[in-house]
Structure 1
Amino acid sequence: MNFIELHNQNKPLLIANVWDAGSAIAAQQAGYQALGTSSAAIAATLGYEDGEAMSFDELLYFVTRIKSVSNLPLSVDVEAGFGYTAEEITTHLKRLVQLGVVGINLEDSRVVNGVRQLDDAPAFASKLKKIRKMLNVEHYQLFLNIRTDTYLLNHEQALQETLLRGRLYEAAGADGLFVPCLTSEKDIETITKELNLPLNVMCMPNLPTFEMLETLGVSRISMGNFVHSAIQSKLKDLMQIIHSQQSFAGVFVDESSR
């Protein structure tokens, strides 16, 4: 089953968001069907803030290492594309395809002076259309999962704006729509019914159950950086235990007995 077909199964595609070779191996061993990178987790691994603080070449290195240990379909979070023009972004996407990447997440917001802001919707759609055309001309096949940050940024009319942007992006060549921080069952159902694009939702504390998401018509569920954050929290706790106890005993304590 190819990556596009994975978005048309009876159940939503649960994609494992990874950040290095070790997490990719763990996900493959656990039986996941596909991998997606988390830009925030990779940035944190390198000591950066999220929002393209790392370079594209640094991201590319992590992608290379992940591909070296896993044969699962890999989608890469390229944030805002690590460029401002369609030409710059397309150049990066071609390099990913050459590594065997089958999909990307591209977002319609950008961090400017430390503040994330939504791009103008028609302007972003126009850029997306150019990217798709340039990829097609050279026969580069890539699943373009377009992330809209309407809910993440608490847009006053998040649902209406998401539908507007979804229609624009579909017409421009998007293959999927990713709406982080979307949790309302009513809104999810409206989006899946109103738009033809496969809908991708993300791990959130109040996200509906996977079973309910299937009923609502969701095609893809991702983790964002939450799994990485949970692991980092446990690492911090363990480091504190070792330091406070002046002993390695805490390293060998079974979690279930703590």
Structure 2
Amino acid sequence: MTFAELHHQHTPLVIANVWDATSAIAAQQAGYQALGTSSAAIAAMLGYEDGEAMSFDEMLYIVTRITSVSNLPLSVDVEAGYGSNADEIAEHLKRLVQAGVVGINLEDSKVVDGVRRLVDAQAFSRTLEAIRTRLSAEDLQLFLNIRTDTYLLAHEHALQETLYRGRLYKAAGADGIFVPCLTSEQDIAMIAKELNLPLNVMCMPDLATFGRLKQAGVSRISMGNVVHSAIQLQLKNLLERILAQQSFAEVFIDESTR
């Protein structure tokens, strides 16, 4: 199946969000169908804050290392596109396609002075349409999964704003809609029905089971940076125990015996 076709299965497409070659290999060995990068995890790995603090070239290098070790379809989180206009963003997406990437996440918010805010929906949709037009003109195939941060930023009218933005983005050429922090099954069902686009939700503590999400209309489930964060916490705890015990014995304990 193509990457687009993976969004129309009997069960949701569960994306393994990775941040380097090692995590990509682990996800492939575990049996995942597709990979997605986590911008927050990659930024953390490189010592940056999330929100395009790292350069596009730094992110692209990590992408090339992932594609070099895995043959799974790869979607890349490009945040707000690493550009100030449609031409700059489209050029970045072209380089990603050349690196073997089949999809991207592009978000309708930006971090300015440490604060994330939604951008104007009309302006964003015009940018998206221009990007789609340029990609089509160069016959570049890329699944555009458009992220709206209405729920992430706790918009006062999150459902209505998501529907408004989703309709604009669909008309501008979006292939899918990604709504992080959306957990209400009622809202999920409404958004999936009204937009009629593959709907992507993200791991949250109160997110329903995958089966229930599929019944509500979800096509794709992302992990975000939660797996990377969990591993970093385990690493920190292990390093602390080595110092506390003044021994490396803890390193060699079989996890299955814990």
CA apart distance, 1:213: 0.4
Quick check: 1:129 aligned with 2:115?
no
CA apart distance, 1:74: 0.3
Secondary structure class of the residue paired with 2:177: strand
Quick check: 1:10 aligned with 2:10?
yes
2:34 paired residue number: 34
2:69 paired residue number: 69
1:163 paired residue number: 163
Return the TM-score normalized by structure 1. 0.99
Amino acid of the structure 2 residue aligned with 1:184: S
Residue-by-residue CA offset, 1:74-105 (whole Å, 9 max, x unaligned): 00000000011001100000000011100000
Instruction: Give ranges in structure 2 of 5+ residues lacking alignment.
Output: none
Counterpart-to-counterpart distance in 2, 1:179 and 1:123: 19
CA apart distance, 1:257: 3.6
Instruction: Give ranges in structure 1 of 5+ residues lacking alignment.
Output: none
CA apart distance, 1:256: 4.1
Quick check: 1:50 aligned with 2:40?
no
Equivalence map 1:186-225=2 (5 Å) = 186-225=186-225
2:237 paired residue number: 237
Residue-by-residue CA offset, 1:205-252 (whole Å, 9 max, x unaligned): 000100100111100001000000000000000000001111101111
Q: Could you tell me the percent identity over the aligned residues?
A: 76
Counterpart-to-counterpart distance in 2, 1:252 and 1:131: 51
Counterpart-to-counterpart distance in 1, 2:211 and 2:184: 15
Counterpart-to-counterpart distance in 1, 2:161 and 2:248: 53
Counterpart-to-counterpart distance in 1, 2:183 and 2:106: 21
Counterpart-to-counterpart distance in 2, 1:222 and 1:140: 24
2:175 paired residue number: 175
CA apart distance, 1:140: 0.6
Amino acid of the structure 1 residue aligned with 2:162: T
Amino acid of the structure 2 residue aligned with 1:91: E
Amino acid of the structure 2 residue aligned with 1:18: V
Amino acid of the structure 2 residue aligned with 1:125: S
Counterpart-to-counterpart distance in 1, 2:24 and 2:46: 17
1:101 paired residue number: 101
Give the RMSD, CA atoms, in angstroms: 0.7
1:92 paired residue number: 92
Quick check: 1:145 aligned with 2:134?
no
Amino acid of the structure 2 residue aligned with 1:243: L
Residue-by-residue CA offset, 1:143-187 (whole Å, 9 max, x unaligned): 000000000000000000000000000000000000000000110
Counterpart-to-counterpart distance in 2, 1:211 and 1:132: 33
Total equivalences in the alignment:
258
Residue-by-residue CA offset, 1:23-53 (whole Å, 9 max, x unaligned): 0000000110000000000000000000000
